[in-house]
Structure 1
Amino acid sequence: MRAEAAKRVELVFSLFDANGNGVIDSGDFDLMTGRVLEVAVASDARAKEAIRTAFRRWWTTLATELDVNGDGVITIEEFRPFVLDPERFGPTVTEFAEALSVLGDPDGDGLIERPLFVSLMTAIGFEEANIHALFDAFGPDAADRITVGTWAAGIEDYYAPDLAGIPGDRLVGAPAV
């Protein structure tokens, strides 16, 4: 795994640990889902249900794949070596990427405006300066929008262990490449 990917793993763990108790459990995903839905007020019921389902699948996949001792929580030690495994998590990442990016496009025009992007990413737990750096790295148009496809692809890239120099590296404060 590349050093950049290792930094992304550490950040993802801290975000998934939404209540900050040092482990990941199902309640963390409920908390994160609630935060995201709170800012997605303009999204339709189908988009909201898709993100609920995606967050539930994240937890189910993590619990099934990583909770080796069956205690209902995932420690950083259980999480770190496996979370960026495309064989285990590829479909889960794809479902999440599609659901989150569509949630960011409530008017269905295929474009995501910066304010909603920032709100959704902040609700997940990312730092605002890093969110803006990511949005800028996606190459917004003159009206300060990115495409749904760009964001979905960026999310999938974020979880790829062999990628470096990607826009998502801005979320861990990596210097622009």
Structure 2
Amino acid sequence: MRTEATQRIELVFNLFDANGNGVIDIGDFDLMSKRVVGAAADSDEAAKEAVQAAFRRYWVTLETELDSNGDGVVTREEFRGFVLSPERFGPTIGQFADALAALGDPDGDGLVERPRFIALMTAIGFGHANIDALFDAFGPTADDRIPVATWAEGIRDYYAPDKAGIPGDQLVGGPTT
């Protein structure tokens, strides 16, 4: 496992612990889902429902695979190994990636504008400078938009334990533009 992947996963744990209590539970996913949907108020209902379903699946996958003592929470230690197992986690990440990226395209033109991207990534909990660095790393068009497919693929890459030097690395630590 690459150091970059470990750093990315540590950040994800911290973001998923939306209420800051040191563990991940269903309440964290409910809170984050509400924030993300709230940042996309003008998206259609199907896109909102898809991202909510993706958050639910994410939680169910974590709870099913990791909550070994049945206490309804996932600790940092439990979380580390699982999310870096693409064979176990890939379909969940794929659904999440597709739903989140589609939520960023309310007009259905296949492109995500920077303000929408910033709003959704801020709702998840990423820092503004890192969000801008990530958007720039995706190579936006002259009118400051990125393809939905590029963002979805970037999310998948973020969880790949063997990848380094990817756009998603912009989210870890200080931005490196």
Give unpaired runs (5+ residues) of structure 2: none
Match in the other structure for 1:158: 158
Runs ≥4 residues deviating over 6 A: none
Residue identity opposite 1:58 in structure 2: Y
- Contact residue 130 and residue 175 of structure 2 kept, 8 A: no
Does residue 90 of structure 2 align to residue 90 of structure 1? yes
Residue identity opposite 1:90 in structure 2: G
Residue identity opposite 1:50 in structure 2: A
Residue identity opposite 2:60 in structure 1: T
Match in the other structure for 1:31: 31
Fraction of identical pairs, as percent: 72
Q: What are the equivalent positions in structure 2 for 1:65-144 lying under 5 Å apart? A: 65-144=65-144
Residue identity opposite 1:2 in structure 2: R
Supply the distance in 2 between the matched residues of 1:96 and 1:24 (Cα, whole angstroms).
17
Q: Deviation of residue 86 (structure 1)?
A: 0.5
Q: Deviation of residue 174 (structure 1)?
A: 6.1
Judge which range, 126-135 or 75-84, deviates more: 75-84
Residue identity opposite 2:159 in structure 1: Y
Residue identity opposite 2:69 in structure 1: N
- Contact residue 130 and residue 174 of structure 2 kept, 8 A: no
| Secondary structure, aligned partner of 2:81 | coil
Supply the distance in 2 between the matched residues of 1:67 and 1:84 (Cα, whole angstroms).
16
The two structures, once aligned, show a CA RMSD in angstroms of 1.1
Residue identity opposite 1:25 in structure 2: D
Aligned length: 177
Match in the other structure for 2:41: 41
Does residue 13 of structure 2 align to residue 2 of structure 1? no
Residue identity opposite 2:142 in structure 1: A
Residue identity opposite 1:116 in structure 2: R
| Secondary structure, aligned partner of 2:77 | helix
Supply the distance in 2 between the matched residues of 1:160 and 1:67 (Cα, whole angstroms).
22
Q: Deviation of residue 175 (structure 1)?
A: 6.0
Supply the distance in 2 between the matched residues of 1:122 and 1:82 (Cα, whole angstroms).
25
- Contact residue 2 and residue 163 of structure 2 kept, 8 A: yes
| Secondary structure, aligned partner of 1:82 | helix
Q: Deviation of residue 132 (structure 1)?
A: 0.3
Does residue 11 of structure 2 align to residue 11 of structure 1? yes
